[in-house]
Chains A and B, each alone.
Chain A
Amino acid sequence: MTRLLDHPILGKLPERKAISFQFDGKNYEAYENETIAAALLANGVRTLRLHEESGKPRGIYCNIGHCMECRVTVNGQPNVRACLTIVQQGMVVESGKQLPNAIKRMEEG
């Protein structure tokens, strides 16, 4: 996806400082004051985690902090909402993973 640089009513996007951050070990570019979710979508990344039990991919749903669908791990802290969290230079973000024991439970059940 791309950024909407110009807009007929809202005007041009102001100049912002580019920063870089990591998501699942890969480097991405973002702009200052951008949320993790917005920066990743601008880079074409929609999947933020795999469902803990089913392993199915999940991305943002509400984008304003209500649904908890966008949980990621930020600098080691789990369950951070990507849609509310501003990305910082050098931030290390990891997607939520399917839990290994969940797979086992599913196989057993």
Chain B
Amino acid sequence: MSDVIVIGAGPAGLAGAIACAEFGLKVTVLDEFFRPGGRLLGQLYEEPSGNWWNGIKEAERLQQKTKDLAIDVRCGVSVFNLEKDELLWNVHTNAGSMKASYVLVATGSAEYPIPVPGWTLPGVMSIGAAQVMTNVHRVQVGKKGIIIGANILAFAILTELQLAGIQVDRIVLPEKSPISQEAGEPEEVLKSLLSAAHLAPSLLLRFGSVFMKNGLLRKIALNFYPKGGMKISGTPLQLRKAAMEIVGKKQVEGVRVVDITPNGATVPGSDKIYEADFVCIAGGLYPLTEITAVAGCPFQFVPELGGHIPVHSEWMETPLQGLFVAGNITGIEGGKIAMAQGTVAGLAIVKRSGKEAGSIDRLLQKSVDYVRDVRQHAPIQFNPGVDEGRQTMKELWVSKYGKEGKVIS
């Protein structure tokens, strides 16, 4: 039997497993994908320092470490239930059940779909699907594509598609609706893009990002927004156009697009069909929390972190004894932060197991500080309010369960 079962072999889960194994705990990692790495696989961008962040390489580095430490990493295993008996956690999977004293849930995040009419046609995929097909499988997703949704992930992956030589014809917004909400309002989109200045520097330089913080100027800028859009390394970003329908008989043939006002209202009679053989929908990310929900973990709604989040301490401990969380399940952020959080969770498990009485407190504190440090220098940030979100969760924990390190229920 393992001491620790880690659910999810992304950066958070792997880093957590490694921290546990370095202190002699026996660890099993489960993941339903066919290889470890989670959403690191496919990430590829140039950091402001000029270095390339290559997620595949990072995943291979972590995988090598798990081998060196004799961690049992099992791919192709889906976890569907998690429950506790008097002493142990029971993890139920498609390959049978197993038990451990400690469980780290690091299931990451998933993408919101935006149900544009026609979105079930073959050739329509989430933006993340295109990332994996391009950088991991190395198969062309199509000859000419249109991205629906203008957010940070869409820009990051647009650049990756361009790098691989795949033509993206344009980026347009989804039609404003109760589901697309702010993603369908040019003004709101522009506001959120300011936090991604380094991913679309040419665009924001032209607008002057300083002035753009002012709401009135933003409105004026949008009124004069060029009809053809502004280009992000060759691909026009059309903030004043919205996708009404994806058209095609047996697969994608094009997108029917309409002009929109700065607050997202459609301009009648402005419809036009643009040809494409693939469409990527970029709806944004939400934490994948089902497993902690079925385990009975309490939740808190923290919009800055991406939605309903399992309550956890800065040690990544939940109120349920022996249950830990790390990575995007605790809030939507980039790969480096997930990795740093995984280390915290791993060290916290080591502490709770009583394995390393001496130096663990200091190491744990250092790892918590390191997460903040990485966050400050993160090359990609999905939500500008993430610091407040983390603070909200921390305060909630302290008010309910006291400071970290206290023995919990």
Contact = CB atoms under 8 A, between A and B. Distances in A.
Contact of A61 (B56, B76, B78, B124): B124
A3 B139 contact: yes
B123 interface: yes
Interface stretch (B130-138, B149-157, B344-352, B380-388): B130-138
B164 interface: yes
Interface of A: 1-5, 7-10, 13, 34-35, 38, 41-42, 46-48, 51, 56-67, 69, 83-86
Contact of A2 (B123, B130, B140): B140
B128 A46 contact: no
Interface residues of B, number: 39
A23 to B, nearest CB: 14
Given A60-B129, A61-B126, A1 B141 contact: yes
B140 A62 contact: no
B139 A42 contact: yes
A84 B56 contact: no
B58 interface: no
Given A8-B163, A62-B110, A62-B128, A56 B120 contact: yes
A62 B126 contact: yes
Contacts of A46: 122-123, 251
Contacts, number: 105
B251 A57 contact: yes
- Say whether chain A's binding surface is mostly helix, strand, loop, or mixed: loop
Nearest to B134: A4
A61 B164 contact: no
B32 A84 contact: yes
A38 B120 CA distance: 18
Nearest to A43: B139
Nearest to B119: A61
B321 interface: no
B245 interface: no
Contacts of A10: 44, 54, 56, 135, 138
Contact of B128 (A2, A5, A64, A85): A64
